[in-house]
Amino acid sequence: MKLNDLPKNSSAESAYDLPDATGHFGPYGGVFVAETLQAALLELNIEYERAKADPEFVAEFQRELKHYVGRPSPIYHAKRLSDELGGAQIYLKREDLNHTGAHKINNTIGQALLARRMGKPRVIAETGAGQHGVATATVCARYGLECVVYMGSEDMKRQAQNVYRMKLLGATVVPVDSGSKTLKDALNEAMRDWVTNIENTFYIIGTVAGPHPYPMLVRDFNSVVGKECLWQMPELIGQHPDAVLACVGGGSNAMGIFYDYIPHKNVRLIGCEAGGEGVETGRHAASLTAGSPGILHGNRTYLIQNADGQIIDTHSVSAGLDYPGVGPEHAWLKDIGRAEYVPVNDDAALAAFHRLCRTEGIIPALESSHAVAHAMKMAPTMGKDKVLLVNLSGRGDKDMATVAERSGLQFFCRPSCQMNQLKQAKQ
């Protein structure tokens, strides 16, 4: 089976074959980059097409997913949560159980294998929450590649543990102090590195954005998630879910689980964007809900921008969703009505985070908590025979400090240390 094969049999109702040869999804996508990057993107595109058709490459990718990542990831029925909500049954696709704790590793393995195939000894990456950086550092250690990760200095503060993990794995983490010091600035900086070191460097992009062929190849490598669900759900409950939910920042976990469901028109696809403090406050990262089409980071897509066409700083409690653009394929799926996109606010995501911890013993990533939150909102309005499948794209260990701080707690301060503080205060 090829990486991006869509099931063309049985319940698949219509063909979907995007992007086109020049990387467009309708008016979105494309290759909007300076001439300096054109040759590298063309080389990557050609090599990827070859790799995709090479049974050895595909077999190695699948072997790595099985033995290194631990795939297939299970689907879990969140029964206590569903019972409490009293409506639709919520199922979780457990990408949090992957090696490195998120879906990101699916893509980084694929791209690292491409880097090796193309003879590029040096890998660069950008990262927001740090999950993609960790996943990249991991595979670079695994394949013996040099790894440089660009990360906004603001994000480095929010995700200090992931910075340490990357360093443990042998990566160099470069702080980015320009602009808003977050993901988009890290992406700008990584692009600059790539332009300068194009001959020996492979750029592993972590989401389904950027210039063609990135949105396509990141989707293809992550589409293993949806492919597994397509056989796992019928095996578990004898049917496909009524809706599939996933959080959307750049949108790689969402494209990964949506892609194989696209031809299954009876399955609703729902992307949950970061509503931040509320779309009406302007402090959010919901580009599909509140943005407008434009060009950023090499592709045309929905952007959060001002009247002058400048990109505006975004906000989300989760660093991984804090991005002013979104993958071009999501823009297209929104326009053609195949997928729906809703904003989920910080507070709702945090409430879902805590609820999943307590009812199911699963600590979700704050990113994934956005999708859980929307499932919790939908479930009570639906019958008990309805099924919601949520992509639990990552685990929440990295978010301990953020959540503790939000709850007004001092991180890592156990009762014994609190006693010591009290004693010191008295003295």
Partner 1 sequence: MSRIKATFAKLAGEKRKALIPFVTAGDPTAAITVPLMHVLVKAGADVIELGVPFSDPMADGPVIQRSSERALINGIGLLDVLAYVRKFRETNDTTPIVLMGYANPIERMGLEAFAANANAAGVDGVLIVDYPPEESVAVLKVLDAAGIDSIYLLSPTSTDIRIKLVANSARGYIYYVSLKGVSGAANIDTAEVGAMIQRIKAETSLPVGVGFGIRDGATARLVADVADAVVVGSRIIQEMEASAVEDQLANVEKLVSDIRIAMDA
Find the Cα–Cα–Cα–Cα dihedral 348, 350, 353, 354, rounded to 10°. -110
Q: Which of 93, 104, 120, 398 is catalytic?
A: 104
- List residues binding partner 1 (CB under 8 A): 22, 30-36, 38-40, 42, 178-179, 184-185, 188, 191-192, 195-196, 198-199, 293-298, 303, 305, 307-312
Is 104 an annotated catalytic residue? yes
Please state the closest distance from residue 310 (CB atom) to partner 1, in A: 4
Using alpha carbons, select from 263, 262, 269, 266 the residue that is nearest to residue 288: 269
User: 27 or 234, CB closer to partner 1?
Assistant: 27
Q: 3-class DSSP state for residue 220?
A: helix
Question: How far, in Å, are 2, 3, 119, 384, 421 from residue 54 at the CA level?
Answer: 9, 10, 17, 45, 62
Please state the closest distance from residue 187 (CB atom) to partner 1, in A: 8
Token code pair at residue 108:
């980084």
Longest Cα–Cα distance in the chain? 76
Q: Which of 64, 95, 126, 360 is catalytic?
A: 126
CA–CA dist 55, 214 (Å, integer): 21
Using alpha carbons, select from 179, 189, 209 the residue that is nearest to residue 314: 179
User: 101 or 325, CB closer to partner 1?
Assistant: 325
User: 198 or 363, CB closer to partner 1?
Assistant: 198
User: 42 or 59, CB closer to partner 1?
Assistant: 42
**HSE of 418 in the Cβ direction (CA atoms, 13 Å)?**
7
Please state the closest distance from residue 331 (CB atom) to partner 1, in A: 14
Please state the closest distance from residue 166 (CB atom) to partner 1, in A: 23
Please state the closest distance from residue 201 (CB atom) to partner 1, in A: 11
Using alpha carbons, select from 268, 269, 270, 271 the residue that is nearest to residue 249: 271
Q: Which residues are catalytic?
A: 104, 126, 393
